[in-house]
Amino acid sequence: MNLSRPHLILAVILTFLLTTIPYDTFAQTEISGTVTQKNGTPIEGANVYLDGTYDGGSTNAQGQFSFSTGEEGVQTLIVSYVTYEEFMMAADVTQLNGLTVTLREDVNSLDAVVLSAGTFEAGDNSKVSVLKPLDVVTTASALGDFVGALQTLPGTTTVAEDGRLFVRGGDAGETQIFIDGIRVFTPYTPSTNNIPTRGRYSPFLFDGITFSTGGYSAEYGQALSSVLLLNTIDEPTQEKTDIAIMSVGGSIGNTQKWEKSSLSFNTSYINLAPYIAAFPDRNDWEKPFQAFAGETVFRRKFDKGLFKMYAAFDATNFELTQEDINIPEGVNFKLNNKNLYTNTSYSGTLGDSWKIQAGGSFTHSNNKVGFLDNEIDNIENSAHFKLKFRKRFSNRVKLNFGAEQFLTDFNESFDNPFIDTSIDSYGFNNNITAVFSEADLIFSRKFAMKVGLRAEHSQLFDKFTISPRASVAYKTGKGSQVSLAYGDFYQQPLNDILKFQQDLDPQKTQHYILNYQYSKNNRIFRAEAYRKEYKSLVMFDTQDPFFDSNFTNDGDGYAQGLDFFFRDNESIKNVDYWISYSYLDSERKYRNYPISTTPSFANSHNLSVVGKWFITDWKSQVGVSYQYGSGRAFTNPNDQGFLQDKTKGFNSVSFNWAYLISQQKILYFSVNNAFGFNNINGYQYANTPNTMGNFNRRALRPAADQFFFVGFFWTISEDGTDNQLDTL
Amino acid sequence: MKQLFIIAITLISFTGFSQSKFEKGMTKGFELWQEGKQWEAANLFERISQAEPDNWLPPFYVAQINVLYSFNEKDETKLTAQLKKAQDFINDAKAISKDNAEILVIQAQLYTAWIVFDGAKYGMTYSQKVAQLYSEAHKLDPSNPRVAFGKVEWDMGTARFFGQDTSSFCEDLKKAAALYETYEPKGPFHPKGGGDYAKQALAENCGE
């Protein structure tokens, strides 16, 4: 061999390479062991490896793994498998053999227990979701009102002439509504006697709805019975224009998207004049209902958070004359309402384990009401500020805490040319400060607990209250669980009382809830038993609250009952249905009640059956819903007693039909109370007896027995796939 | 002669040596996958992604396996776990490689898996997102067959759902399928699959 120098070097390098490569494979260390669950069952398919290297393997059916590594010294061994927490262990590679690794279950996985007592959620990935986002708009009786859809859930009472939520023996004022965690002070469009109101905000802005019928989190206060939490959409999917032409009006909306932000607006105009001309109702409309509404949402994403601003303005007016047994010419009522609501929120992360949520809302509401010769004009300015932090100590321990401030300034003036009142304007300032703290403790996939405390100070009453809240949940089997909840809840009397009397105490309820839930294969069954105690309810000694009423906090009461819910999306192809039944037993002494009795807004039995059928060949979805509410109490002055008689039960069957003309054009029909049941909401009695000594009466019937709706919805978007199914 | 021999050895050993750990790992992953051991392959890709934090391909394939094997999964717990895992790895891949049409396609397929599982629950929200993702991917890489085929197939499925005539889509579908023949993967181990499925889908939908 006669190698030149460069060749020699090359040969040396080669020799080195050729010897080091095999050397690498010879100096291997064996890593081995077994991966099991806590109870010893082996886990197959777990990924076992040394962090930052290529060395690793998967476990076999016996949970065993073994692989070799060229790494030396201390290395980190990682074992991971879905639905289990990742296992990590640092040791010298020579120690990593014959290991036994026990993986801890990931308590956040889908089959983990959830605190479900009292709570219904509508959302995409919610574990306790009983309603789907689309249900709000495809439930036949709901007419696109989210409140209407919630009235098909158990725990609610059918009070057809009102339209608001009445939960478990509570009146409508006992439910509070929050948008992105911030209070809505005036959630309903104002209305008058016997004309049901609607939720003010259009359902298409929200993608998550949580409805709690009791036992809710310490984060929420000033609600005796229930909270409804609405979350606005974080990010719209695309730029589009929506046009709706309806038998009652029209609307137009547009969404624009940029890289980090988006802006949506929607305006609508509703006028019932043509409808009332075609289908006259029992009222004599001087000026049929008309409403103009505009809403806008601006969203901007930051590196670590999301900012949202929501603003809504609406103006409503109508004038009508309603029949009255004591006033032969009828009662003239006119209303003019202007409402502005803005809500600004920021949610984001602060470092690894902290989250922050901050927000505020401002409401300006002006009502001008005229009835008979009375002119009432009120202005409410309210604000809510909230700051909340969430600290995650581990997957198993989380802490929420925060503070909030409510401010209300309410002023009203009263004028009647025939009455000389010494006071013609009155009002109040109501400031409430609250702090809350709540811990989530997840002991295992089977057992979880939430404990919280809320403290509130009312400046108006100079009263301090403390409300403990707690719930526990235990998984009893695959798909089934039991949960328990307890809580104290305080709420101030509403504006109709506070405007005349501010020297009062907060009203109080205590909730005890036992819940059982079973879900399997797109079927869910829930049963809930509860007991609710009312204390310190406001009472007064006149027909209605007024200047010269004497107010006390001497009222009390209770509500107890059973709620059942069953939903099945599986048994019949293309058919989805649910059944809700509620039994309620409630008595209370409050307002001007001489005795403790069942109030007129509470009844014993409520049943809802809702079904939806998608018919592919017809390109249609057909929906039907049936609602039954047993009779409600009224006072019959011809007999001894108070609220001693009951109306007959309420029945209504509603149908809807959505027909997809094309992907972006939808035709929609609906009819409420299709069979025209004669429903009676109550009776009005004459103030004075007739010649026979009897008090005459008049049945309070809905303004119209039936309601028809036709709409055409058209979406224009770049890729032509979006439609307005979700706005119906 | 001797020199030639040495040069030959050098070349051979250099090619042998240049097959890096990454290439060996990826090759092994695809072998496992072909043998039907997709979960072992996914585990291996997951290990590679931990060791190569700047390469989008390993997390991409972890996501792809988890998404593909979710389409026939009926157990909601398992499906949720798989798709959650896939989403985590899509997020990783997206953080490494921005404006990547292949990752957008996987994201679209992930949403499609949810829609297939429960259309009433997920259809409304996710179908808009899927359409949006395909149109974004199309802007980035119009000649990519997975983008083009996925987009046409999705539009066709939507039209069928709404009872519209789908024959007009066949021409586009055929064109998209033809892209599989011409499209050059952008590098070693870059996605190149889907051609067989495209032929099958074309035959089923358009009888070709």
Q: Give the pLDDT confidence of A330-381 residue by residue, as tens digits.
A: 999 999 999 999 999 999 999 888 999 999 999 999 999 998 888 999 999 9
Q: Do A56 and B127 touch (CB under 8 A)?
A: no
Q: Which of residues 82-111 of A touch B (CB under 8 A)?
A: 82-83, 109-111
Strand partners, A270: A249, A291
Of B16, B17, B124, the CB nearest to A725: B124
Q: Running DSSP on this structure, what letter comes out for residue A167?
A: B
Give me the amino acid identity at A445.
R
Contacts of A124 in chain B (CB under 8 A): 121-122, 125
* B17 interfacial to chain A (CB closer than 8 Å): yes
Check whether A126 has a pLDDT greater than 50: no
Report whether pLDDT(A722) > 70. no
ipTM of the complex: 0.78
CB contact under 8 A, B124 and A134: yes
Q: What are φ and ψ of residue A9, in 5° steps?
A: -60, -45
Comparing alpha-carbon positions, the chain A residue that sits nearest to B117 is A522
**Which residues of A are less than 8 Å from B83 in CB distance?**
none
The pLDDT score that the predictor gives to residue A711 is 87
Chain B interface disruption, residue of A15, A82, A713, most B CBs within 10 A: A82
Which string of b and e fits A405-439 if b means at least 16 CB within 10 Å? Answer: ebbbebebebeeeeeeeeeeeebbebebebebbbb
Instruction: Return the amino acid letter for A492.
Output: Q
Determine the average pLDDT of the residues in A601-612.
95
From the list B6, B46, B76, which residue is nearest A47 (CB)?
B46
Q: Which of B46, B80, B132 sits opposite A719 (nearest CB)?
A: B132
Measured between beta carbons, the chain B residues lying within 8 angstroms of A78 are 50
Mutation target to probe the B interface, by most B beta carbons within 10 A, among A54, A55, A612 is: A54
How far apart, in whole angstroms, are the C-alpha atoms of residue A430 and residue A411? 11
Angle at alpha carbon of residue A642, lines to A637 and A645, rounded to 5°: 75
Interface of A with B in 540-599 (CB under 8 A): 569, 576
Cross-chain residue pair B135–A718, CB shorter than 8 Å: yes
CB contact under 8 A, A124 and B17: no
Q: What is the CA radius of gyration of chain B?
A: 20
CB contact under 8 A, A238 and B132: yes
pLDDT at position B13 over 50: no
| B51 neighbourhood in chain A, CB within 8 Å | 52-54
Contact A54 B21 (CB under 8 A): yes
Contact between A341 and A184 (Cβ < 8 Å): yes
* Pairing of the two strands A665-672 and A425-444: unpaired
Q: Is the pLDDT of residue A203 over 50?
A: yes
- Give CA separation, A571 vs A122, A148, A522, B132, in Å: 21, 26, 9, 34
Measured between beta carbons, which residues in chain A are less than 8 angstroms from residue B81? 82-83, 109-110
Percent of chain A with pLDDT over 90: 56
Each residue's pLDDT tens digit, A468-520: 999 999 989 888 899 999 999 999 999 999 999 999 999 999 999 999 999 88
User: Taking CB atoms and an 8 Å limit, are A569 and B120 in contact across chains?
Assistant: yes
CA distances from B109 to A303, B86, B184 (A): 26, 11, 22
* Greatest Cα-to-Cα distance within chain A, rounded to the nearest angstrom: 141
**Cα–Cα distances in Å, from A315 out to A189, A244, A267?**
9, 19, 12
Compare all CA atoms of chain A with the CA of B51 and give the residue at the minimum distance: A52
B23 touches chain A (CB under 8 A): no
Q: B-chain residues within 8 Å CB-CB of A1?
A: 2
Q: For B9-38, what is the mean pLDDT?
A: 73
Q: CB neighbours (10 Å) of residue B169?
A: 20
pLDDT at A470: 92
**pLDDT the model gives residue A340:** 95
Check B6 against A10: CB less than 8 A apart: yes
Rounded Cα distance, A52 and A631, in Å: 70
Please indicate whether, in this complex, the C-beta atoms of A663 and B80 are within 8 angstroms of each other.
Answer: no
Residue of chain B with shortest Cα separation from A78 = B47
Within 10 Å of residue A211's Cβ, how many Cβ atoms?
27
Contacts of B162 in chain A (CB under 8 A): 619, 660, 662-663
Mean pLDDT of A405-414: 94
Q: Is the dihedral of CA A597, A600, A602, A603 positive or negative?
A: positive
Pairing relationship of beta strands A87-92 and A331-350 according to DSSP bridges: unpaired
Cβ separation of B77 and A110 shorter than 8 Å?
A: yes
Residue A4: predicted pLDDT: 52
Q: Average pLDDT in the A319-327 region?
A: 92
| From B40, B132, B163, residue closest to A237, measured CB to CB | B132
Please count the helices (runs of H) and the strands (runs of E) in chain A: 5, 39
Cβ of A722 under 8 Å from any chain B Cβ?
Answer: yes
Pairing of strands A119-122, A129-131: parallel
Residue A24 has pLDDT above 70, yes or no: no
A25 interfacial to chain B (CB closer than 8 Å): no
Q: What is the percent of chain B where pLDDT is above 70?
A: 89
Min CA distance, A163 vs chain B (Å)? Answer: 27
What would the pLDDT profile of A512-535 be if each residue is shown by its tens digit? 999 999 988 778 899 999 999 999
Q: Per residue in B51-84, pLDDT tens?
A: 888 999 999 999 999 999 998 888 877 888 899 8
Nearest by CB to residue A110, choosing from B51, B76, B127, is B76
In this prediction, residue A129 carries a pLDDT of: 62
Averaged pLDDT, B93-118: 92
**A124–B121: do the CB atoms touch at under 8 Å?**
yes
**Three-state SS letters, chain B:** CHHHHHHHHHHHHHHHHHCCHHHHHHHHHHHHHHCCCHHHHHHHHHHHHHHCCCCCHHHHHHHHHHHHCCCCCCCHHHHHHHHHHHHHHHHHHHHHCCCCHHHHHHHHHHHHHHHHHCHHHHHHHHHHHHHHHHHHHHHHCCCCHHHHHHHHHHHHHHHHHCCCCCCCHHHHHHHHHHHHHHCCCCCCCCCCCCHHHHHHHHHHHHCC
Residue of A nearest to B25 (CA): A54
Strands A284-302 and A261-271: antiparallel
| Whether the predicted pLDDT of A728 surpasses 50 | no
- Choose among B181, B194, B120, B103: nearest CA to B152: B194
pLDDT score at A15: 44
Tokens of A238: 């695309």
Residues of chain B positioned with their CB less than 8 A from the CB of A17: 13, 17
Position A659 confidence tier, pLDDT thresholds 50, 70, 90: confident
Query: Do B50 and A616 make contact, defined as CB atoms within 8 angstroms?
Result: no
Nearest CA-CA partner of A508 in A112, A33, A191, A170: A170
- Put simply, the answer to whether B124 touches A54 (Cβ < 8 Å) is no
What pLDDT is attached to residue A399? 94
Q: Is the pLDDT of residue A25 over 50?
A: no
**Residue A299 predicted with pLDDT over 60:** yes
* pLDDT, mean of residues A130-140: 72
pLDDT greater than 70 at residue A599: yes
Q: Where are the beta strands (DSSP E) in A541-638?
A: 551-568, 575-589, 605-615, 620-629, 633-634
* Contact status of B43 with chain A (Cβ, < 8 Å): yes
**Is A325 a residue whose pLDDT tops 70?**
yes
pLDDT digits (tens, 9 = 90+) for B141-198: 988 999 999 988 888 888 887 777 788 888 888 888 888 888 888 888 998 877 888 8
State residue A384's pLDDT score: 96
Whole-angstrom distance between the N-terminal and C-terminal Cα of chain A?
91
B125:A109 CB<8 A: no
A362-374 confidence digits (pLDDT tens): 999 999 999 888 8
Cβ-based contacts under 8 A for chains A and B: 109
Chain B residue at shortest CA distance from A1 = B2
Q: What is the mean pLDDT of chain A?
A: 87
Residue, of A724 and A303, whose pLDDT is higher? A303
Residue of B nearest to A108 (CA): B81
Nearest Cβ partner for A133 among B81, B124, B127: B124
- Give residue B76's pLDDT: 79
Chain B residues 88-107 with a CB less than 8 Å from chain A: none
Q: Give me the pLDDT at residue B165, please.
A: 78
Whether chain B has a CB inside 8 Å of the CB on A40: the answer is: no
Contact (CB, 8 A) for A410 and A525: no
Residue type at position B187: G
- The partner residue sitting opposite A21, judged by closest CB among B17, B121, B124, is B17
DSSP secondary structure letters along A180-211: TTEEES--B----TTS---BSS-GGGEEEEEE
Check pLDDT > 60 for residue A19.
no
